[in-house]
A and B are shown apart, each in its own frame.
Chain A
Amino acid sequence: MQKTLKKYFAFFTLPTVLAFITVFLIPFVFGVYLSFTKFNTVNDAQWVGFSNYIRAFTEDRDFLNALFFTVKFAIVSVVLINVFAFMLALLLTRKIRGTNVFRTVFFMPDLIGGIVLGYIWQLIINGFLAAFNVDITFSATYGYWGLMILMNWQLIGYMMIIYIAGIQNIPPELIEAAEIDGANSWQVLKSVTVPMVMPSITICTFLTLTNSFKLFDQNLALTAGAPGKESAMLAMDIFNTFYGRQGYEGVGQAKAVVFFIIVALIAYLHLRLTRSKEVEN
Chain B
Amino acid sequence: MEAKRKIANNVVFVVLFILSVAFLAPIFIVLMNSFKGRFFISEAPFALPNSQTFVGLKNYTIGLAKTGFLQAFGYSLFITVGSVAVIVLFTSMTAWYITRVKSRYTSIIYYLLVFSMIVPFQMVMYTMAKMANVLKLDSPAGLLVIYLGFGAGLSTFMFSGFIKGIPLEIEEAATIDGCNPIQTFFLVVFPILKPVAITVAILNAMWIWNDYLLPLLVIGNKYKTIPIAIQYLQGGYGSRDMGAMMAMLILAIVPVVVFYMACQKYIVKGVVAGAVKG
Contacts and interface: CB of A to CB of B under 8 A. Distances in A.
Interface of A: 1-2, 4-6, 8-9, 11-13, 15-17, 19-28, 30-31, 34, 42, 88, 91-92, 94, 96-98, 101-109, 111-116, 119-121, 123-124, 126-127, 130, 137, 153, 157-158, 161-162, 165, 199-200, 203-204, 206-207, 210, 213-214, 216-217, 220-221, 224, 226, 234-235, 238-239, 242, 249, 252-253, 256-257, 259-260, 263-264, 267
A165 B102 CA distance: 34
Contact of A108 (B168, B242, B260): B260
Interface in B217-274: 226-227, 230-231, 234, 237, 242, 245-246, 249, 252-253, 256-257, 259-260, 264, 267-268, 271-272
A127 B93 contact: no
Given A13-B94, A16-B90, A22-B149, A120 B212 contact: no
Chain A binding surface, main DSSP class? helix
Nearest to B270: A161
Contact of B231 (A8, A115, A130, A207): A115
B81 interface: no
A112 B12 CA distance: 27
Chain B binding surface, main DSSP class? helix
Nearest to B91: A16
A30 B175 CA distance: 43
B3 interface: no
Contacts, number: 279
B33 A162 contact: no
Contacts of B44: 127, 130
Interface centre among B126, B172, B211 (most CB of A within 10 A): B126
A158 B245 CA distance: 27
B276 A203 contact: yes
Contact of A24 (B150, B171, B260, B272): B150
8 contacts: A9-B101, A13-B106, A17-B94, A107-B268, A162-B271, A214-B121, A216-B212, A217-B213
Given A42-B127, A104-B264, A11 B182 contact: yes
B100 interface: yes
A43 to B, nearest CB: 10
Nearest to B227: A115
Contacts of B12: 91, 94, 96
B109 A123 contact: no
Interface stretch (B15-23, B51-59, B192-200): B15-23
B20 A105 contact: yes
B120 A259 contact: yes
Interface in B122-179: 122-128, 130-132, 135, 137, 145-146, 148-150, 152, 156, 168, 171-172, 175
Contacts of B249: 116, 119-120
A260 B149 contact: no
B45 A123 contact: yes
A59 to B, nearest CB: 19
A2 B98 CA distance: 11
B9 to A, nearest CB: 5
